[in-house]
């Protein structure tokens, strides 16, 4: 029989007996015939090393070779440990108060005893059939990336055009920029949807700078924040801030600033005191400063940008977003009645510093060059506010958010065959001219006097009316308590006084109020106190703004429908757009082969590729990210991870980023780990048959629980790297623009088709070529059908090339399968080096199992936890234990890792103090599925993978009571 027998034995820690050649020999050997067919058998693992080393390896090409003897531990010693182990299992009472699993692990590691019943599960045996599924006829939606026009075709300042060309190397307009910039310069509220990497950031940043630079007299940083850009993740915030820094180069009086989680609050406070014109930040941190930093004032804010709007809501940031919107309204209102603010502002203006004086001298020069006036500039000067929402994917929750935050909005959607621009101010009769005109480059007919500007001229800013959709959205947005609100709306006559009192209280209350819908009450109050003025304003507007009167619920204006219809159909069609330059494929890999296939793909793409590949690998949980990046790096590069990560260690130490859980379990294992590491390196120096040759590979890892400095450092380093591998959670799935990424690998299936799109969108940006590979288990095959329903087309490939690539690291292996077995053996051996490794591996495994059972309902049928073979899954984590042992090990060493101090870890009592609303309840905002997905994201980022004790205990108690 053509069998491959694998004998794995871990060398003893006994220094005397662990000389290098012996170790190599004792590591693993093949017993095979020359004609290996890939079939392997599992066989009982030899129970002691002496026996193992008596095995004779038959090599068909040469005479039988004896394995170099690995000096067995003395029988006595082995027996000693065996006796200890027996004692441990038989007399558990004796070890009361001690960690049984840890004691057992330690004894077994010392004894080098196989960890699960003494069986080595073979890699290529008992795997399920890999189905070949045909490709369905799917026509992907295509978006044209470049528009064929240049920045100088836009009506913008020549300095900006020159800056774009010289400092950013940009000349040609992208489609979304061509469509959105003119509308934004009109000061209109806009919802922008265009595919990933299509230049949305510049599409909104450019008009903002253009609007601000044209303000005369020039704005000063002391004037207050003019623009707020809210962004869901720190990395994206940094990236956006950096773009603003580049864009303001010709206009140095505009000062951008960054507020993002993890940074020192004190420094941020100082920056805020000094003054900023553009504030870029994450929602949690902005709110933090709203509560604690007096100098943060939004009275002058004329533009609010909510980037990655759907993700902001997914992540449960709706409360923070609502609080920011409310703060802008509040501060603006307060400023209207604050004469001191005006006085202060004038004082500042009258005493210009040197820099300002210089600016004044240059002013006339600039003015000469640009006599362009945009309505957006007038919006900045008025009490109005422009709101911009952006995302590559839209959800029902975004529709609701648009309902509440946008007034007379325009919808810019760049996908072919869809509404390029849907303008809520256009009646249905006009809409034909505006909608479904894919080829028209800038078909915007914006009214000569945009409403925002006109409103300022005719009435006080408070007279801003809330259109029908906004009201509708408002209810949907809050979700809870809206019945009360609805009642109030319908009984204004009777309850005027009552509501007035209630809202007065709410208004008097500081933003720390924990009222559920304080903000909406304030809006309601405004509606109640200004009904007639609004009506009059509407009457006045009748001539040119007849579609504007959205105050009648029963007769919604056609204007609203134009926007709403386009948005609804975009969401309803549920089709997703991906860059056409990305070659998408999937591999169905049996569970046991997943880890080696992953290693093979890394080698194929980053090592064998002469140009040097740069890839991002998405995994489900932070435990998986940490564990896999260290494991793969250790095995493939032969480096001791801690040595390599010296640079990152700095960040770790400064914030005690090293996990507590890791430390406390090191005990005696730690002492032996360096010894083991040394042995590893000896292995690599003298590769023998089956030995691994180290390869040159740069590995990075990123997840939300990393200390801030480390997180930023990794992001910076990977951006600068020419090639390398980033293993990360979905924290890097949105908006992040990393140059030269040419492969995105989804090792764990995404929680939704939307997540798939954003992950894939990290490559193929700005019409660059890229590739995306999705790993699936045989049981997950039908997830492809789910993607096809959303017009995403993928091609099936298999793992053969990846396994073949492993021969680069195991050059002595006769076949790809042998190389795979060798690599798997090394992975397993590394994972069993000491209790620390074991614990990390077990945690990664359990966190994945938990993640897997939490997939949202709409994808659960394709990603069904019941279909998983947990024993095989252990192998994919380089573990040899039975699943029950793995769970027990993690349970006996609960992870005490420090949670990041960001929005998701706000304590309950702190929660109450925050401005805005209570935590949204199920069904309150977006669908239940969205909530579920939100919890998945949380699990993905911060959970250990196990339910906490306090969660599980009451349940058990209840059961027992029953």
Ligand X SMILES: Nc1ncnc2c1ncn2[C@@H]1O[C@H](COP(=O)(O)OP(=O)(O)OP(=O)(O)O)[C@@H](O)[C@H]1O
The count of residues interacting with ligand X (CB under 6 A) is 18
Kindly state whether residue 826 participates in binding ligand X, applying the rule CB under 6 A: no
Burial 627-650 (b: 16+ CB within 10 A, else e): bbbbbbbbbbbbbbbeebbeebee
Pair of tokens at residue 122: 């073979």
Closest CB 751 distance from ligand X, rounded Å: 18
Strands (E) across 757-841 are located at 770-776, 795-797
Q: Binding segment for ligand X among 196-204, 374-382, 522-530, 918-926 (CB under 6 A)? A: 196-204
Closest CB 395 distance from ligand X, rounded Å: 14
Closest CB 426 distance from ligand X, rounded Å: 26
Q: How far apart are CA 758 and CA 763, in angstroms?
A: 10
Kindly state whether residue 170 participates in binding ligand X, applying the rule CB under 6 A: yes
Closest CB 404 distance from ligand X, rounded Å: 23
**Between residues 185 and 632, which has the closer beta carbon with respect to ligand X?**
185
Kindly state whether residue 198 participates in binding ligand X, applying the rule CB under 6 A: yes
The answer to whether 915 and 327 have CB atoms below 8 angstroms apart is yes
**Between residues 81 and 312, which has the closer beta carbon with respect to ligand X?**
312
Kindly state whether residue 174 participates in binding ligand X, applying the rule CB under 6 A: yes
Closest CB 328 distance from ligand X, rounded Å: 23
Q: Binding segment for ligand X among 193-201, 490-498, 770-778, 950-958 (CB under 6 A)? A: 193-201
Closest CB 567 distance from ligand X, rounded Å: 18
The answer to whether 8 and 52 have CB atoms below 8 angstroms apart is no
Closest CB 739 distance from ligand X, rounded Å: 7
Side-chain half-sphere exposure of 562, counting CA atoms within 13 A: 27
**Between residues 388 and 823, which has the closer beta carbon with respect to ligand X?**
388
Of 628, 765, 880, 937, the one binding ligand X (CB under 6 A) is 765
Q: Binding segment for ligand X among 216-224, 418-426, 717-725, 759-767 (CB under 6 A)? A: 759-767
Residue 174: strand, helix, or coil: strand
Of 72, 262, 735, 764, the one binding ligand X (CB under 6 A) is 735
Q: Which helix (H) or strand (E) holds 885?
A: helix 883-892
The answer to whether 114 and 829 have CB atoms below 8 angstroms apart is no
Q: How far apart are CA 495 and CA 479, in angstroms?
A: 22
Kindly state whether residue 415 participates in binding ligand X, applying the rule CB under 6 A: no
Of 8, 123, 141, 173, the one binding ligand X (CB under 6 A) is 173
Q: How far apart are CA 604 and CA 613, in angstroms?
A: 9
The answer to whether 677 and 640 have CB atoms below 8 angstroms apart is yes
**Between residues 111 and 201, which has the closer beta carbon with respect to ligand X?**
201
Q: Binding segment for ligand X among 129-137, 198-206, 660-668, 852-860 (CB under 6 A)? A: 198-206
Of 232, 447, 761, 770, the one binding ligand X (CB under 6 A) is 761
**Between residues 399 and 737, which has the closer beta carbon with respect to ligand X?**
737
Closest CB 763 distance from ligand X, rounded Å: 10
Name which of residues 64 to 123 contact ligand X (CB under 6 A).
none
Q: Binding segment for ligand X among 294-302, 587-595, 760-768, 832-840 (CB under 6 A)? A: 760-768
**Between residues 177 and 377, which has the closer beta carbon with respect to ligand X?**
177
Q: How far apart are CA 198 and CA 176, in angstroms?
A: 7
Closest CB 146 distance from ligand X, rounded Å: 7
Closest CB 599 distance from ligand X, rounded Å: 28
Kindly state whether residue 737 participates in binding ligand X, applying the rule CB under 6 A: yes
Name which of residues 371 to 400 contact ligand X (CB under 6 A).
392
Kindly state whether residue 197 participates in binding ligand X, applying the rule CB under 6 A: yes
Name which of residues 199 to 218 contact ligand X (CB under 6 A).
199-202
Q: Which helix (H) or strand (E) holds 725?
A: strand 724-728
Q: At what angle do helices 835-852 and 667-685 cross, to 10 degrees?
A: 100
**Between residues 247 and 810, which has the closer beta carbon with respect to ligand X?**
247
Nearest alpha carbon to residue 696 among 684, 709, 678: 684
Pair of tokens at residue 175: 């489609």
Q: How far apart are CA 720 and CA 648, in angstroms?
A: 15
Kindly state whether residue 766 participates in binding ligand X, applying the rule CB under 6 A: yes
**Between residues 200 and 271, which has the closer beta carbon with respect to ligand X?**
200
The separation between the first and the last C-alpha atoms of the chain, rounded to the nearest angstrom, is 57
Kindly state whether residue 247 participates in binding ligand X, applying the rule CB under 6 A: no
Q: How far apart are CA 397 and CA 405, in angstroms?
A: 12
Q: How far apart are CA 194 and CA 176, in angstroms?
A: 7
Closest CB 731 distance from ligand X, rounded Å: 14
Closest CB 765 distance from ligand X, rounded Å: 5
Q: Binding segment for ligand X among 191-199, 366-374, 407-415, 747-755 (CB under 6 A)? A: 191-199
The answer to whether 900 and 942 have CB atoms below 8 angstroms apart is yes
Closest CB 762 distance from ligand X, rounded Å: 7
Can you list the pairs that 873-876 forms with residues at least 24 positions away whose Cβ atoms lie under 8 Å?
Answer: 873/591, 873/845, 873/848, 873/849, 874/845, 875/121, 875/123, 875/591, 875/592, 875/595, 875/824, 876/591, 876/592, 876/593, 876/594, 876/595
CA 705, 706, 709, 715 torsion: positive or negative?
A: negative
The answer to whether 65 and 92 have CB atoms below 8 angstroms apart is no
Cα separations (Å) of 766 from 160, 176, 402, 583?
20, 11, 27, 15
**Between residues 233 and 847, which has the closer beta carbon with respect to ligand X?**
233
Kindly state whether residue 280 participates in binding ligand X, applying the rule CB under 6 A: no
**Between residues 597 and 763, which has the closer beta carbon with respect to ligand X?**
763
**Between residues 18 and 305, which has the closer beta carbon with respect to ligand X?**
305
- What does the binding site for ligand X look like in residue numbers (CB under 6 A)? 170, 172-174, 177, 196-202, 392, 735, 737, 761, 765-766
């Amino acid at each position: 029989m053509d069998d491959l027998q694998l004998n794995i034995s871990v060398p003893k820690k006994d220094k005397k007996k662990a000389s290098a050649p012996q170790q190599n020999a004792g590591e693993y050997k093949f017993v095979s015939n020359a004609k290996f067919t890939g079939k392997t058998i599992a066989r009982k693992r030899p129970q002691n090393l002496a026996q193992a080393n008596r095995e004779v390896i038959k090599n068909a090409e040469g005479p039988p070779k004896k394995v170099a003897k690995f000096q067995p531990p003395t029988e006595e010693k082995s027996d000693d440990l065996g006796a200890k182990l027996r004692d441990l299992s038989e007399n558990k009472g004796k070890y009361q108060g001690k960690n049984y699993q840890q004691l057992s692990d330690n004894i077994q590691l010392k004894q080098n005893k196989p960890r699960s019943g003494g069986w080595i599960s073979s890699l290529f045996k008992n795997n399920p059939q890999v189905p070949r599924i045909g490709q369905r006829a799917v026509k992907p939606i295509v978006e044209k990336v470049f528009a064929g026009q240049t920045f100088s075709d836009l009506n913008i300042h020549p300095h900006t055009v020159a800056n774009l060309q010289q400092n950013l190397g940009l000349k040609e307009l992208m489609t979304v920029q061509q469509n959105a910039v003119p509308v934004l310069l009109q000061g209109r509220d806009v919802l922008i949807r265009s595919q990933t990497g299509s230049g949305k950031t510049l599409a909104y940043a450019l008009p903002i700078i253009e609007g601000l630079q044209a303000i005369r007299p020039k704005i000063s940083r002391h004037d207050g924040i003019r623009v707020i850009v809210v962004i869901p993740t720190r990395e994206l915030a940094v990236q956006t801030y950096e773009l603003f820094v580049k864009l303001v180069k010709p206009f140095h009086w505009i000062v951008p600033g960054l507020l993002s989680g993890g940074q020192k609050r004190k420094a941020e406070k100082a920056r805020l005191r000094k003054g900023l014109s553009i504030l870029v930040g994450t929602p949690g941190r902005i709110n933090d400063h709203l509560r604690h930093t007096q100098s943060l004032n939004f009275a002058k804010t004329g533009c609010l940008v909510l980037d990655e709007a759907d993700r902001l809501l997914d992540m449960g940031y709706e409360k923070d977003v609502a609080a920011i919107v409310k703060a802008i309204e509040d501060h603006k209102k307060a400023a209207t009645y604050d004469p001191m603010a005006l006085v202060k502002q004038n004082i500042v203006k009258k005493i210009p510093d040197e820099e300002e004086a210089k600016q004044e001298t240059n002013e006339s020069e600039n003015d000469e060059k640009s006599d362009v006036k945009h309505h957006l500039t007038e919006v900045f000067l008025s009490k109005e506010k422009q709101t911009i929402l952006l995302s590559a994917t839209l959800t029902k929750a975004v529709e609701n958010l648009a309902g509440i935050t946008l007034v007379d909005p325009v919808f810019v959607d760049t996908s072919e065959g869809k509404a390029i621009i849907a303008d809520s101010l256009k009646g249905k009769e006009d809409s034909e001219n505006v909608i479904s005109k894919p080829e028209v480059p800038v078909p915007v007919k914006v009214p000569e006097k945009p409403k925002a500007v006109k409103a300022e001229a005719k009435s006080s800013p408070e007279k801003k009316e809330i259109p029908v959709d906004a009201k509708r959205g408002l209810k949907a947005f809050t979700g809870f308590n809206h019945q009360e609100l609805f009642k109030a709306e319908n009984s204004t006559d009777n309850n005027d006084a009552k509501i007035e009192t209630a809202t007065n209280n709410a208004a008097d209350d500081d933003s720390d109020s924990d009222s559920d819908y304080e903000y909406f009450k304030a809006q309601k109050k405004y509606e109640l106190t200004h009904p007639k003025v609004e009506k009059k304003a509407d009457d006045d507007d009748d001539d040119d703004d007849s579609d504007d009167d959205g105050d009648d619920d029963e007769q919604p204006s056609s204007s609203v429908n134009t926007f709403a219809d386009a948005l609804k159909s975009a969401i309803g069609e549920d089709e997703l757009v991906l860059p056409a330059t990305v070659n998408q494929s999937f591999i169905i890999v049996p569970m046991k082969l997943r880890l080696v296939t992953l290693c093979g793909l890394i080698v194929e793409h980053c090592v064998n590729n002469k140009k040097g590949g740069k890839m991002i690998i998405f995994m489900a949980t932070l435990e998986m990210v940490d564990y896999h990046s260290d494991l793969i790096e250790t095995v493939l590069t032969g480096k001791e991870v801690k040595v390599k990560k010296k640079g990152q260690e700095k960040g770790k130490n400064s914030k005690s980023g090293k996990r507590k859980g890791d430390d406390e379990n090191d005990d005696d294992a730690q002492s032996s780990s360096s010894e083991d590491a040394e042995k590893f390196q000896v292995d690599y120096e003298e590769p023998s048959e089956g030995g691994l040759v180290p390869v040159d590979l740069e590995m990075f890892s990123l997840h939300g629980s990393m200390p801030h400095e480390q997180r930023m450092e990794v992001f910076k380093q990977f951006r600068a790297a020419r090639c390398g591998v980033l293993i990360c959670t979905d924290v890097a799935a949105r908006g992040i623009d990393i140059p030269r990424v040419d492969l995105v690998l989804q090792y764990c299936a995404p929680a939704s088709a939307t997540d798939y799109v954003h992950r894939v969108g990290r490559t193929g940006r700005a019409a660059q070529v890229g590739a995306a590979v999705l790993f699936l288990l045989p049981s997950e095959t039908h997830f492809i059908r789910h993607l096809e329903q959303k017009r995403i087309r993928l091609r099936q490939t298999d793992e053969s090339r990846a396994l073949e690539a492993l021969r680069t690291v195991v050059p002595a292996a006769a076949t790809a399968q042998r190389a795979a077995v060798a690599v798997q053996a090394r992975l397993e051996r590394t994972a069993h080096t000491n209790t620390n490794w074991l614990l990390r591996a077990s945690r990664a495994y359990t966190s994945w199992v938990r993640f897997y059972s939490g997939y949202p309902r709409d994808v659960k049928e394709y990603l069904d936890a019941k279909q998983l073979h947990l024993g095989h899954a252990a192998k994919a984590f380089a573990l040899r234990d039975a699943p029950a042992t793995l769970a027990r090990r993690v349970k006996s060493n609960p992870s005490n890792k420090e949670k990041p101090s960001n929005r998701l870890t706000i304590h309950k009592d702190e929660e109450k103090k925050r401005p805005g609303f209570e935590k949204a309840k199920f069904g309150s905002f977006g669908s239940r599925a969205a909530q579920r997905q939100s919890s998945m994201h949380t699990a993905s980022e911060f959970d250990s993978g196990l339910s906490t004790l306090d969660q599980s205990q009451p349940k058990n108690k209840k059961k027992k009571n029953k």
